[in-house]
Each structure stands twice: as structure tokens, then as C-alpha cells.
Amino acid sequence: MNPRASRLTRNEPPDYTLTSYKLQKDEMQLISCHDGRLLTLDAARLRASPGRSFRTGLEALDTLAPGHAFARGAVHELLSDPNEGRPLLLASVLARGSSVLIWSDPFNELYPPALVSQGIDLKRLFLLRAGPADQTWAVAECLRCKGVGAVVAAIPKLSRLEARRLQLAAEQGGGVGILLRPTGRGSEIYAAATRWLVRPSPGQRTIQRWTVQLLHGHGGRIGKTVTLECCRENHLVRAFEQLADRPDAEKPSARPIVARAS
């Protein structure tokens, strides 16, 4: 999945624009976000995601999280080296079961059709286009909406106040905040239920791999690592726990849990 493969539009959208992407008609539906509510003619279709937690369907990954599941009404952070790209695959895995998904895309970098292969329904996808200076505020507004299942945003730096504000917004709305953040200076400031370090791992011609390590999560298996694997040909995603006592060639045989994008 290449976030720079295409652009949806060449025109610069106004600040705080939230758009619904429709693959077949290739048209944008403008809506607004205000006071924790999404104002649109289609607002009736917004429904809160059920339950207080969710699972990805990748058992090896889920078992690392507190309670073997990811909490709703919370923020989850995915950290990565800024020179190695953002963990977009893992973000899509966490977000694909959401009733309504908002993806912050301030620079027109995201290519929504690529998300289809990971099971994301574009009819439920909204793109948030806020200027970088206002992105954190706009993301918080979206998180406060009770009809939003998840919000994905790449936010480089957070103050303690901003981090706490995003967490409180997620608690109020009941959805999931998925923040893509770089490692390094400033990354120690957070207010998240879980934090994961994602690093690329050697793969094959048709196989991409990443290691995913739980850094923070009360009650979770902190410090443990799983390998996330995606096949470019059939888009199958699987996760399996690393086994230190086996050579690399034998590790994939450790009963990986496979999830096919629906």
C-alpha cells in the first residue's frame, strides 16, 4: 500500500474540510465537523461501534494487548522510525472493523482505493483535510462524535495538554484514536491506552513483513513482539509470535493466524 501512489484531487481544500470518498463515482461529499458532531445529510447512517473493545482477528497480535483486545474509547499509538515510513498497514488492520472511519490526510497523500484490499469499506471512509496547525483540534472534534468508530491521524508532536485532550475526546465519543507517531524527540509525551513500535523486517518478493512490539499497555504483554506479514498477491495478512529458539525459516510454521480482507 503506497500512500503516495495517487492524489484524489489537485485542488487545495479549505481548512477543516471532511470529505466522503466514493470509488465508483469518484466524487467528494462535503460535510462539516463542529462541537463533536458531524453535520451532513447522511448523518443518520452514523452508528457507534458496539462493545467496549474489539479484536483484529489476528490472534497473535490481539493476545499482546491488555485483555487480549483493543479498548474503544481510547487512543492507541503506532510508533515508527521517520526514515522507515508510517505503519499504514497496521493502522488499516486496527481500523477496518469500524462503523465509520475518518482518516486525516492533510497533504493529499492517501490513496483510498488501496485501503479496499485491507477490508476497508470506502462507503464508510471520510477524509479529513485540516491544515497541519489545526489537525490536532480537528481530530479531537471527530473523536468526540459518538457516531465515529475510529480516527486515524499522523501527528508528529503532541504537548501534554493535546495528548490528554485527544484521550478525553476518545472517551467521550467512544471510538478509537489511532495515532501514527515518529520515534525520537517528543515521542515520550503521550496519553494512550497502548503504544506499539512497528519496524520493517526482511521479507520476500511478494511478502512484506514488520515486527510489532508492545511498548505500553497496562495488563498487556509489554516487550513482546509479533511479526506482521502481508502478501502482495492475495492481500492476506497474518501475524505470528517470534520464536527465539527456531531458525528464521521455521518461524512461519508456528500456526500463524490468517485474516483475509473482506
Q: Shortest CA distance to 170 belongs to which of 156, 197, 190, 185?
A: 190
Average pLDDT over residues 135-164: 93
Q: Tell me if the domain spanning 17-40+49-260 has CATH number 3.40.50.300.
A: yes
Q: Is 65 exposed, middle or buried (0-12, 13-18, 19+ CB in 10 A)?
A: buried
Bridge partners, residue 124, by sequence: none
What does the alpha-carbon distance between residue 140 and residue 163 come to, in Å, rounded to a whole number? 10
pLDDT, residue 94, reads: 95
> Among the listed ranges 89-93, 205-209, 232-236, which one has the minimum average pLDDT value?
232-236
Q: Say how far residue 78 (Cα) sits from the centre of its chain.
A: 8
Q: Shortest CA distance to 244 belongs to which of 229, 223, 258, 259?
A: 223
Specify which of 59-68, 199-208, 233-242, 244-253 reaches the highest per-range mean pLDDT. 59-68
What are the pLDDT digits (tens) for 213-256?
Answer: 999 999 999 999 999 999 988 888 998 886 554 444 444 433 44
Instruction: Identify which has the larger pLDDT, 252 or 92.
Output: 92
Q: Shortest CA distance to 160 belongs to which of 187, 193, 196, 130?
A: 187
**Contacts with 125 (C-beta within 8 Å, 6 or more apart), sequence order:** 20, 21, 101, 102, 103, 112, 115
What does the alpha-carbon distance between residue 10 and residue 252 come to, in Å, rounded to a whole number? 43
What does the alpha-carbon distance between residue 220 and residue 60 come to, in Å, rounded to a whole number? 13
**Contacts with 133 (C-beta within 8 Å, 6 or more apart), sequence order:** none
pLDDT, residue 41, reads: 36
Average pLDDT over residues 130-153: 91
Phi-psi region at 10: left, alpha or beta (left = phi > 0; alpha = psi -120 to 50)? alpha
**Torsion 262-68-230-104 (CA) sign:** positive
Q: Shortest CA distance to 172 belongs to which of 53, 98, 73?
A: 73
What are the pLDDT digits (tens) for 3-49?
Answer: 333 223 333 444 455 666 544 444 434 445 555 555 553 544 555 56
**Torsion 109-112-117-121 (CA) sign:** positive
- CA 231, 237, 238: angle at the middle one, nearest 5? 115
pLDDT, residue 200, reads: 94
- What's the grid cell of residue 121? 469499506
Instruction: Identify which has the larger pLDDT, 28 or 205.
Output: 205
Average pLDDT over residues 41-69: 80
pLDDT, residue 50, reads: 66
Type of residue numbered 103: W
pLDDT, residue 9, reads: 30
- Which pairing describes strands 37-39 and 27-34: parallel, antiparallel, or unpaired? antiparallel
